[in-house]
Copies of this chain bind each other. A is one copy, B any other.
Amino acid sequence: VTAPAAPPRSRAQAAEQTRSRLVDAAIARFAREGMGARFDAIASDAGMTKGALYHHFGSKDGLVEEVYKEAIRRHADRVVAASSAGTGRERLLALIDESARLYGSGTPFYRLLVRLHVEASGTRPHLAPITRRVVRAQRDYMVGLAREGRADGSIRAELDPVAVGQMVDAALAGLLLHQIDPVAEVRRRVADFRDLMEAVL
């Protein structure tokens, strides 16, 4: 059930297109039904059969891994783009705002992300390295923003930038985890958080 897309030119391009179509279908299914989604269903969503999945990803774990990486990439792109300009303080607040927007969007995409994080530390150990890397990168990014804010004077000098970055990171993760609440409430809570940060920084 994917858009037909433009006809491919070469054989390699066709393969690449199939591959990405499969990943998209997998993301959609996984987000909706959890990682237990059936191989078959994913394939047929993309207009293929299981064979294609196996051909491209080798195994279910392989697919999950690919999906994980892709999901992370998408999220990172959005967040980084949103926090690319201004003082450190501004960038940090912008990041919070964007996260708020995304988490509050109600798309299952973010549930998928949480699930993947959780499974990485348990059911699917092969994802653990990825998770570790990502978690660290995210945190470092926020710490970096906090440092920048301190350097440019937009964040109070008494605050430890490492602690601030970590805290923002944790709080956003926490909001992500508590996504079961109605969307409106999540949104309101992020706004509260944002205001608090504005007062504190």
A residues near B (Cβ < 8 Å) are 33-34, 36, 108, 111, 114-115, 117-123, 128, 131-132, 135-136, 158-160, 162-164, 166-167, 169-181, 189, 192-193, 195-196, 199-200
Q: How far, in angstroms, from A169 to B175 measured CA to CA in the complex? A: 9
8 contacts between A and B (CB under 8 A): A33-B122, A108-B122, A117-B177, A120-B180, A159-B196, A164-B196, A173-B175, A174-B175
Chain A: interface secondary structure?
helix
Establish whether residues B111 and A180, one from each chain, have CB atoms under 8 Å apart when the complex forms: no
Distance in angstroms between the alpha carbons of A52 and B67 in the assembled complex: 31
Given the contacts A159-B196, A164-B196, A170-B170, A123 and B177 also touching, CB distance less than 8 Å = no
A115 CA / B121 CA spacing, docked (Å): 10
Bound-complex Cα distance A192 to B168 (A): 12
* A193, B170: Cα distance in complex, Å: 9
B123 touches A180 (CB 8 A): no
**CA A195 to CA B171, docked complex, whole Å:** 16
- Nearest CB of B to A146, in Å: 11
Give bound CA distance, A120 to B189, whole Å.
20
Measured between C-beta atoms, what is the minimum distance from A140 to chain B in Å?
13
User: A58 CB to closest chain B CB, in angstroms?
Assistant: 13
Pairwise interchain contact B34-A123, C-beta atoms closer than 8 A: yes
* A180 nearest CB neighbor, chain B only: B121
The residues of B that contact A123 with a CB separation of less than 8 Å are 33-34, 36
Q: Across the interface, name the chain B residue whose C-beta is closest to A160.
A: B196
Instruction: Closest B residue to A114 by CB, please name it.
Output: B118
Q: A159-B199, A195-B160 are in contact. Are A171 and B167 (CB under 8 A)?
A: yes
